[in-house]
Amino acid sequence: MKIICIGRNYAEHAKELKNEIPTEPVFFMKPDTALLKEKDFYLPGFSNEIHHEIELVLKISKAGKHIEEQFAHKYFDEIGLGIDFTARDIQQQCKEKGLPWEKAKAFDNSAPIGKFFKKEKFDLNNIALELKISGETKQAGNSKDLLFSFDKIIAYVSQFVSLKVGDLIYTGTPKGVGAVKIGDKLQGFINGELALELNIK
């Protein structure tokens, strides 16, 4: 399986990192070795600035390529919550040199994933997501503020990359990203329901 991540999909987050609002989806990938299903995340030694990015995650349930937007909803059946951990210091260096971001985004365990729910449980245009750190809300957003909808993302990405069953799409993070530190306890919520827990070690 592979992990596809959408960047800059909430306007307020694009602004906080001083990025332009994109006119088409920005995407990048993480390998399967990035997936973390356990509850502990160990800060890697190569970065001094690992940022949390809480994101709604789609689980692909049907293989496809060149998927039309009107049929895209048939290609995912579950929605969950994940964190797109980002070595912001390294990403900044890559950006300045015009280099790819892989070192900052694709490292081991950089994609914690929580519980999944059947998508029928949700109004897809109104799903709240929230990240608390040690009880304090750090990020809060709603799928209604996505610049590119789930269907648009699937249609766009599948023009370039075939989707396979079990692939995950991290759909972008709302504003409020920041660094984590040892001892932090992260809790992610979908529509107020606890869906992800992680301890920073």
Token pair, residue 26, equals 């920005």
Amino acid identity of residue 51, one-letter, is: H
Give the residue with the Cβ less far from Zn ion, 67 or 104. 104
**Residue 45 to residue 27: CA distance in whole angstroms:** 26
Residues found in the chain = 201
Give the residue with the Cβ less far from Zn ion, 3 or 67. 3
Cβ 99 to Zn ion shortest distance, Å: 18
Give the residue with the Cβ less far from Zn ion, 116 or 170. 170
The single residue listed with the structure tokens 């648009």 is: 152
Binding site for Zn ion (CB under 5 A): 53, 84, 173
Cβ 145 to Zn ion shortest distance, Å: 15
Cβ 133 to Zn ion shortest distance, Å: 17
Q: Which residues pair with 199 in a beta bridge?
A: 40, 185
Q: Which residues pair with 185 in a beta bridge?
A: 199
Q: Which residue is nearest to Zn ion (CB)?
A: 84
Q: Nearest Cα to 151, choosing from 166, 171, 168, 165?
A: 171
Cβ 74 to Zn ion shortest distance, Å: 25
| Half-sphere exposure of residue 32: CA atoms within 13 angstroms, side-chain side | 4
Give the residue with the Cβ less far from Zn ion, 149 or 173. 173
Cβ 120 to Zn ion shortest distance, Å: 26
Q: Which residues pair with 29 in a beta bridge?
A: 4
**Residue 4 to residue 26: CA distance in whole angstroms:** 10
Give the residue with the Cβ less far from Zn ion, 64 or 82. 82
